[in-house]
Amino acid sequence: MSAVTYELIKECGQSGARLGKIHTPHGSFDTPMFMPVGTLATVKTMSPEELKEMGAGIILSNTYHLWLRPGEDIVEEAGGLHQFMNWDRGILTDSGGFQVFSLSDLRKITEEGVHFRNHLSGEKLFLSPEKSIAIQNALGSDIMMAFDECPPYPAEFDYMKASVERTSRWAERCLHSNKSPDRQALFGIIQGGEYEALRKQSAADLTSLDFPGYAVGGLSVGEPKDVMNRVLEFTTPLLPQNKPRYLMGVGSPDSLIDGVIRGIDMFDCVLPTRIARNGTCMTSTGRLVVRNSKYARDFGPLDEACDCHVCQTYSRAYIRHLVKANETFGFRLTTYHNLYFLIKLMGQVRQAIKEDRLLDFKAAFFEQYGFNKPNARNF
């Protein structure tokens, strides 16, 4: 039995969405679910208690960053990432591949792995499937991700095909180097860009290896939204029904709903936390830039429709004052609200699936949010 299992509870009568539950060695959580990102063993500005209060069942942490700081050996010596950061619910770690490709300018990809320079010190480093899994084993996450290449958009078919094939070979090496499959589940990552043939090839390769879960990678890398939706439409049907499906790096409210409709169970993104630190908030009526001068004397909440602690307690005027003065507590408030907003949105989505009305929910949400307006501002 895998360390992580997926329980399908119900499929939506209106869409490809599925209601489920994922069981991990650190508790279970309902799906679809959004995972807050805790890059350096902390979800920026938040405490573990606050994450629990808002209903987060699992968070993501970054292997690359923890490898460099403080080093996976220190985390392991602390008793693993859960103990190190005082988080007793689920943790998913990525493979480090995305950061190696996105943060590092100087890199060389070989069959063995990737040579690159540390983005902080310039030091030469090497990351391979085996090394990535060894780090993730040391971190002790519940869900580990296979080390893959995530090419930018657009990429040539021939480059993408070679990359997909290498990613499949790397995935097999990852699977074989997982030292604790009974405690840590390794998910495979389907690549292939916008090419249906390559997504098919990638899915066939990876499902033949029988991973306990699958991610759709290589999306939200600059492609138009309709490309993302189309790729999901022909990719999720290639994945087994009895395993979790994770769409990597997606966190805008519209894309979450569109992903769920196409059969995705898990999402992560820095979007809600990153924009919060710039004073931008997600609300039920759209994007709100709270540092805007029009909120200086607005004593209403960030979002009238929100029942989070921040909206029940603090005004736009106060939060604007804090954000403008660069006060940490302001960023705590915007971060809390944004994460709550997405986690609650996923709860509403689950309820809509249960009641076979996800497309109706989407239509109403998009209308209220303003996604249907011409030139609607997203994130």
Residues forming contacts to a copy of itself in the complex (CB under 8 A) are 40-42, 44-47, 69-70, 74, 77-78, 84-86, 296-297, 299, 313-315, 317-318, 320-322, 324-325, 327-332
Rounded least distance, CB 254 to a copy of itself, Å: 29
Helix (H) or strand (E) holding 127: strand 124-127
Concerning whether 268 is annotated as a catalytic residue, the answer is yes
Count Cα neighbours of 143 within 13 Å in the Cβ-side half-sphere.
Answer: 33
Name the residue among 272, 277, 222, 227 with its Cα closest to residue 251.
272
β-bridge partners, 185? 143
Catalytic residue among 142, 205, 268, 303: 268
Q: For residue 158, what are the contacts with CB-CB under 8 A and spacing of at least 6?
A: none
Structure tokens, 127: 């990351």
94 belongs to the catalytic site: yes
CA distance 103 to 94: 15
By C-alpha distance, which of 312, 307, 275 is closest to 291? 275
If the CB atoms of residues 51 and 174 are measured against a copy of itself, the closer one turns out to be 51
Q: Which CB, 14 or 47, lies closer to a copy of itself?
A: 47
What is the closest distance, in whole angstroms, from the C-beta atom of residue 184 to a copy of itself in the complex? Answer: 21
Task: For residue 37, give the DSSP letter.
Answer: B
Which is nearer to a copy of itself, 47 or 180 (by Cβ)?
47
Q: For the purposes of burial, counting CB atoms within 10 Å of the CB of 180, is it exposed (0-12), middle (13-18) or buried (19 or more)?
A: middle
Unique residue bearing structure tokens 């657009």: 154
Token pair of 370, please? 């303003």
Please state the closest distance from residue 136 (CB atom) to a copy of itself, in A. Answer: 18
Closest CB to a copy of itself among residues 65, 245: 65
| Residue 96 labelled as part of a binding site | yes
Q: How far is the CB of 214 from a copy of itself (least distance, A)?
A: 31
Q: Are strands 124-127 and 33-35 parallel, antiparallel or unpaired?
A: unpaired
Instruction: Point out the annotated binding site for substrate.
Output: 94-98, 148, 191, 218
Residues marked active site are found at 94, 268
Instruction: Point out the annotated binding site for Zn(2+).
Output: 306, 308, 311, 337
